[in-house]
C-alpha cells in the first residue's frame, strides 16, 4: 500500500508481468487514506497505449498522478516493455481482463498471495483489478471474490448503462454502490475517460464532476480516488490537472 510505504523518494513504479492483460503502477505516498471519507487526492492513470503520450518518466513528472498503471503487458515476460521500466520499482499487479474466458484468475490471485506470504517484504506484490462498471464483471468475479484485491478500478466509461454522460448520476451510483458494498475492504477508484472519444463521449465535464459526481462517490468510505483512461488522452486534454484537486 503506497501510503504505508512511506518511501521518501518521490515515486515508485510498479508493474507486473505474467498477467494476461497488464498492469502496473507507480506511487507517491498519498496523504489520502486517513480521511474516513471525502477527497483522497489520488489519481491513477493508464499509460502505455500510445507512442505520442510521452515516456513513463514524463508521465510521472507531470505531477498529476499518484499511480501509473502500465498497460498492457499481455505477453508473459518477453515484452519489450521492460526496456521502459528500468529505474521504476515493481510493486503491483493489475488484472485487466477484457477478453477470453474467466478461468483461473482466482488461482493466479491465490498464487500471488502465496508468493507474498513467502517473501520477507512486508508489502509484497499488491493485487489490483480494473473492471467494467456494470456489476458483476463476469471475467473478474471469481478472482475478486478471493478478497485479495487491495484496489478496484471501476471503468465508468465505455458502457452507456453506467457512464455518467449516458446514464446520469443515478446510473453511476447504482453500480458504484454495488461494487463498494460487495468489496468493502477494497479501495474503490472511479474510472473516468480523459477525453471525449468520438462515438463514446464519456468524458464528464469538470463542473458536473465537481458539483455532482465526486461529492456522491466521496460519501463512500472505501472511495480511493480517480483513475483516468488514459495518459495519452490526458496529454491532449489536461483533464488530470483539474481532477487532482477534486479527487
Ligand atoms: C463529452 O460529450 C458529452 C456528450 O456530448 C457531453 O455531455 C460532455 O459534456 C462532453 N464532455 C466534455 C468534457 O466536454
Please give the pLDDT value at position 231.
Answer: 93
> How many angstroms does the Cα of residue 238 sit away from the middle of ligand 1?
15
Taking the CA of residue 206 as reference, the ligand 1 atom at the shortest distance is 13
**Choice between 103 and 221, residue whose per-residue pLDDT is larger:** 221
Quick one: fold of 4-246? TIM Barrel (3.20.20)
Q: Whats the size of the chain, residue-wise?
A: 247
- The preferred substitution site among 201, 208, 239 for testing ligand 1, maximizing ligand atoms within 8 Å of CB, is 201
User: Percent of the chain having pLDDT more than 90?
Assistant: 54
Per-residue DSSP letters for the chain?
-HHHH--SSS-EE----SSSSB---EE---SGGGSSSS----EEEEE-S-GGG--HHHHHHTS--SEEEEB---SSS--GGGGGGSSSPP-EEEEE--SS--TTHHHHHHHHHHHHHHSS-SS-PEEEEEEESSS--TTTHHHHTTT--SEEEEE-SS-TTT-HHHHHHHHHHHHHHHHHHH-TTSEEEEEEESS--TTT--PPPHHHIIIIIHHHHTTSTTEEEEEEE-HHHHHHH-HHHHHHHH-
Residue 189's CB: how many other CB atoms inside 10 A? 29
Please give the pLDDT value at position 55.
Answer: 85
Burial of 142 (0-12, 13-18, 19+ CB in 10 A): middle
**Residues contacting ligand 1 via CB (< 6 Å):** 165, 196, 201, 203, 205
- CA neighbor of 184 nearest in space, from 228, 139, 138, 152: 152
Average pLDDT over residues 31-46: 74
Pick the range with the lowest mean pLDDT from 8-17, 20-29, 89-98, 193-202.
Answer: 8-17
Q: Which residues contact 103 (CB under 8 A, 6 or more apart)?
A: none
> How many angstroms does the Cα of residue 166 sit away from the middle of ligand 1?
10
Residue 12 has pLDDT above 70, yes or no: no
> How many angstroms does the Cα of residue 240 sit away from the middle of ligand 1?
16
Residue 77 has pLDDT above 80, yes or no: no
**Joined grid coordinates for residue 193:** 475517460
**CA distances to 46, 93, 139, 145 from 229, in Å:** 6, 17, 20, 25
Residue 16 has pLDDT above 50, yes or no: no
**Choice between 45 and 50, residue whose per-residue pLDDT is larger:** 45
Q: Which residues contact 11 (CB under 8 A, 6 or more apart)?
A: 26, 27, 28, 60, 88
Pairing of strands 26-27, 12-13: antiparallel
pLDDT-derived band at 89, boundaries 50, 70, 90: low
> How many angstroms does the Cα of residue 27 sit away from the middle of ligand 1?
30
What's the pTM value of the predicted model, to 2 decimals? 0.84
Please give the pLDDT value at position 104.
Answer: 87
Residue 130 pairs in a beta bridge with 96, 153
Show me where the domains of the chain are located. 4-246
Please give the pLDDT value at position 190.
Answer: 98
Q: pLDDT for 154-184, tens place per residue?
A: 999 999 999 999 999 999 999 999 999 999 9
Q: pLDDT for 103-144, tens place per residue?
A: 888 998 998 888 888 877 776 788 999 999 999 999 999 999
Highest mean pLDDT among 94-98, 125-129, 209-213: 209-213
Residue 24 has pLDDT above 60, yes or no: no
Please give the pLDDT value at position 90.
Answer: 62
- The preferred substitution site among 165, 166, 172, 210 for testing ligand 1, maximizing ligand atoms within 8 Å of CB, is 165
Please give the pLDDT value at position 73.
Answer: 61
Q: Which residues contact 50 (CB under 8 A, 6 or more apart)?
A: 230, 232
Please give the pLDDT value at position 81.
Answer: 38
Residue 26 has pLDDT above 90, yes or no: no
Amino acid at each position: 500500500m503506497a501510503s504505508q510505504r512511506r518511501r521518501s523518494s518521490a515515486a515508485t513504479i510498479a508493474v507486473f508481468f505474467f498477467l494476461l492483460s497488464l498492469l502496473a503502477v507507480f506511487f507517491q505516498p498519498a496523504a489520502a487514506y486517513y480521511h474516513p471519507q471525502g477527497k483522497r487526492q489520488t489519481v491513477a492513470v493508464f499509460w502505455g497505449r500510445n507512442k505520442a503520450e510521452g515516456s513513463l518518466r514524463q508521465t510521472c513528472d507531470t505531477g498529476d498522478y499518484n499511480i501509473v498503471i502500465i498497460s498492457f503487458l499481455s505477453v508473459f515476460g518477453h515484452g519489450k516493455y521492460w526496456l521502459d521500466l528500468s529505474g521504476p520499482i515493481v510493486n503491483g499487479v493489475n488484472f485487466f481482463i477484457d477478453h477470453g474466458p474467466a478461468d483461473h484468475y482466482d488461482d493466479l490471485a491465490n498464487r500471488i498471495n502465496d508468493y507474498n506470504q513467502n517473501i520477507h517484504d512486508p508489502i509484497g506484490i499488491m493485487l489490483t483489478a480494473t473492471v467494467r462498471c456494470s456489476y458483476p464483471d463476469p471475467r473478474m468475479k471469481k478472482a475478486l471474490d478471493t478478497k485479495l484485491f487491495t484496489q478496484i478500478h471501476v471503468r465508468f466509461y465505455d458502457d452507456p448503462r453506467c457512464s455518467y454522460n449516458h446514464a446520469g448520476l443515478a446510473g453511476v451510483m447504482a453500480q458504484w454502490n454495488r461494487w463498494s458494498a460487495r468489496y468493502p475492504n477494497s479501495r474503490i477508484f472511479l474510472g473516468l475517460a480523459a477525453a471525449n472519444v468520438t462515438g463514446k463521449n464519456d468524458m464528464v465535464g469538470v463542473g458536473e464532476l465537481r458539483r455532482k459526481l465526486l461529492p456522491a462517490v466521496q460519501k463512500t468510505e472505501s472511495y480511493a480516488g480517480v483513475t483516468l483512461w488514459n495518459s495519452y488522452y490526458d496529454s491532449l486534454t489536461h483533464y488530470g490537472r483539474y481532477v487532482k484537486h477534486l479527487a
